[in-house]
Amino acid sequence: MESVRAGLVGGGRIADLNVIGWLEHPSAEVAAICDIDPQIRDARAEEWDCRPIGSYEDLLADDGIDAVVILTPHHLHAEQAIAALEAGKHVSLQKPPARSMAEYETIGDAARTAEEKQGAKFQVFEDFMFYPPHVLAARLVEEGEIGDVLSVRLVTAGGRMGNGEGWEVDAASQMWRMDPDLCGGGMTTFDHGYHCFNMGRMFVPDPVESVHAYINFMEMGEYLIDVPSIITWRYAGMPRFGSWEVVASLDLDVMSKYYVTDDRMEIRGSKGIIWVNQCCGRLLEEPPVVLYREGEVRSFHRVESDWAASFRDATFDFIDGILDDRPPLQTVDDARETLRFALAAQLSAREHREVAPAEVT
């Protein structure tokens, strides 16, 4: 193939970022937008100079579309992804890819069959692993800058919504995330959580052996949000642990162009420490990545830190994989283990016990 023509399914808020890579890659284009809301569909078609398509079936039947980018609510993922793969389309599926392991296995089986028979590529779109500060941190770990990784600690702190900062997200987009049947878990600890569980796996080669989670739910207006929460885990092999703390600071202004959320990470090793200080939020004027070792501090200021870069680079990886006939960075099996990790945390919180991810089948 000389170029890849994409059909986006779902023109909501997150499409603003998911479309960037398709618009900027020299060998790709946005060919069509499919959305059940005609106003959104027509507005996006005009914005991206592409064709509006009202029916998902019509989009899959269109020979002018090579890849389908699925940006719909989680309960639609399995049906839509499998249909696209069976139609011979390459598929980029928004995270989390499914609400259960059984649901994901049907997607994975379809992805393997489509790859074998038609060469179709399948990607679970997880942009945090492509965020340049996270990529830099992974490179520093791989180069041995902090020795053996001993712990990975993540913190997510949501701020006050409607403070004039960040995106305006309509109520309908929030409501389905509050419904476990549609979302698959909590809005924070499952929807956003897929990012963080993948980060928990990114810096340690050994699998996660056990998970323990406290997930609380609090009222925020008409919504129930799964905060505050804290999730801890143990890696297989030598004693090493990870943790993810989720806080809702409802009276805190979080400066952001995107979601009013502050995500931070600390990776401690036997010889040093790495801090990743930025993602969606911009609370402090500080370097995106800081390394401490041997009594010296190295600050990495010249690393791209706009969150949008992670969407661009994740899309580029998918497009280049199609053009070069190679799998995406996160394979079908990698995505399965991240989903299993996320579901293990949900199970632990429900049953008030430590859970081995291997239990989640």
Q: Report d(CA 79, CA 331) in Å as an integer.
A: 20
Task: Enter the DSSP assignment of 35.
Answer: -
Which range is least confidently modeled, 146-150, 151-155, 160-164, 183-187?
Answer: 160-164
Same-domain pairing of 236 and 208: yes
Same-domain pairing of 119 and 140: no
- Look at residue 306 and tell me if it is in a domain: yes
Whether the per-residue pLDDT at 164 is higher than 90: the answer is no
Question: Using an 8 Å Cβ cutoff, are 31 and 13 in contact?
Answer: no
Find the mean pLDDT for residues 83-106.
98
Give whole-number Cα distances, 168 to 12, 14, 35, 191, 246, in Å: 11, 11, 19, 18, 21
- Look at residue 329 and tell me if it is in a domain: no
CATH of the domain at 242: 3.30.360.10
Same-domain pairing of 232 and 289: yes
Domain ends where: 96, 125, 154?
125
Mean pLDDT score across all residues of the chain: 95
Same-domain pairing of 285 and 147: yes
Same-domain pairing of 166 and 185: yes
- Look at residue 195 and tell me if it is in a domain: yes
Domain ends where: 105, 125, 145?
125
Helix (H) or strand (E) holding 290: strand 289-293
The residue count of the chain comes to 361
State both tokens at 186. Answer: 């909590």
Question: Using an 8 Å Cβ cutoff, are 158 and 258 in contact?
Answer: no
Same-domain pairing of 171 and 241: yes
Which range is least confidently modeled, 164-168, 236-240, 306-310, 328-332?
Answer: 164-168
Domain ends where: 125, 146, 169?
125
Same-domain pairing of 84 and 171: no
Any residues with CB less than 8 A from the CB of 219 and at least 6 apart, and which? none
Check residue 346 and give its pLDDT: 96
- Look at residue 248 and tell me if it is in a domain: yes
CATH of the domain at 78: 3.40.50.720
Which range is least confidently modeled, 33-42, 157-166, 209-218, 290-299?
Answer: 157-166
Check residue 284 and give its pLDDT: 84
Whether the per-residue pLDDT at 281 is higher than 70: the answer is yes
Amino acid at 296: E
Q: Report d(CA 299, CA 297) in Å as an integer.
A: 6
Check residue 143 and give its pLDDT: 98
Amino acid at 17: L
- Look at residue 323 and tell me if it is in a domain: no
228 preceded by a cis bond (ω within 30 of 0): yes
Task: Enter the DSSP assignment of 27.
Answer: T
CA geometry: angle at 338 spanning 270 and 151, to 5°?
15
Domain count, the chain: 2
- Look at residue 19 and tell me if it is in a domain: yes
Check residue 222 and give its pLDDT: 73
Find the mean pLDDT for residues 31-60.
97
**Domain containing residue 15:** 4-125
State both tokens at 286. Answer: 């500080």
pLDDT band at 50 (very low <50, low <70, confident <90, very high): very high
- Look at residue 91 and tell me if it is in a domain: yes
Same-domain pairing of 105 and 193: no
Q: pLDDT digits over 193-230, tens only?
A: 999 999 999 999 999 999 999 999 988 777 788 999 99
State both tokens at 244. Answer: 């993810």
What does R_g of the chain's alpha carbons equal in angstroms? 20
Q: From the CB of residue 352, how many other CB atoms can be counted at a distance below 10 Å?
A: 9
Query: In this predicted model, which residue has the larger pLDDT, 174 or 25?
Result: 25
Same-domain pairing of 159 and 294: yes
Which range is least confidently modeled, 146-160, 197-211, 249-263?
Answer: 249-263
Same-domain pairing of 145 and 99: no
Check residue 163 and give its pLDDT: 62
Question: Using an 8 Å Cβ cutoff, are 191 and 177 in contact?
Answer: yes
Check residue 105 and give its pLDDT: 98
Same-domain pairing of 85 and 165: no
Q: What burial class does residue 298 get, using C-beta atoms within 10 Å of its C-beta: 0-12 exposed, 13-18 middle, 19+ buried?
A: middle
Same-domain pairing of 111 and 164: no
Q: Percent of the chain scored above 90 by pLDDT?
A: 84
- Look at residue 261 and tell me if it is in a domain: yes
